[in-house]
Amino acid sequence: MSQPQVAFLGLGIMGGGMARRLLGAGFPLTVYNRDPAKAAPLAGLGAKIAATPREAAAHAGVIISMVADDLAARAVWLGHEGALAAISPGAVCIESSTVSVGWVRALAAAAAADGGEFLDAPVTGSRVHAAAGELNFLVGGTAATLEKARPVLTPMSKTITLVGPTGSGALIKLINNFVCGVQAASLAEAMAMIERGGLDRAKALEILTGGAPGSPLVKLLSTRMTAPDYTPNFLLRLMAKDLAYAGDEAARHSLDLQTAAAALTVFKHAIAAGDGDRDMSAIVEQFRRPGPSTP
């Protein structure tokens, strides 16, 4: 069977690597990015460059969005120049961005109204995993639609897991990221205690990372905080967005995510200090600067 035409919307830290994986697997690919300069390098690899999401989606069997937030996602899917304005009957629309559950459900309904099928399929992993095709897709939707999309997802993935009906992928991704955000904030404070307390930092971190607190994320972030290396793998401001979305969704279920709220305060302080466009490990820098160290 011939490979379907794929449209990819959003070529940021994650999307650029994902699009390259699809090109490497031989899929005919049309890409769109709000900043055309990020799309230009893909033309040399065989991608077609579209001027609008609508142009990218025309004739595509699978359309994937990987953008920053709800606002950016609405911009690429909806409106006269949005992708839904051009979808073919039966096209699979995939929202891989980390967005709110409410947006995902609204987009699913809009896609169905225009004759498309829909999956929410956010991913876990960083820029490195996107480039290597080792992302974990967390899919909400039907098994039948996932099987249609699976050949396209496979070159980008380590695992593909159907977690439930529409919205389930978005929900588990927000839960995943709020737990990560809480770990990052607590590690930043722990690092400050180690440094201000005069401990041997290397020995202290060896104890933490080798013991019960030593999750893969804590190990990675402690290395980057120590270097320090804040080349973005995951933008700090996007983690703040995810914590906010998680808190809003929890409130709809009569839950108050107090740890997420506390972590969000620490992330907001880092953004106010100018660290929003650095890797999220830069959250520690607010505690290393002169002056008050608490938000």
Contact 260, 178 (CB under 8 A): yes
Determine which one of 158, 173, 203, 219 is catalytic: 173
Q: What are phi and psi of 31, to 5 degrees?
A: -120, 155
Report residue 183 as tokens: 């770990």
Is 173 a known active-site residue? yes
Residues recognised as catalytic: 173
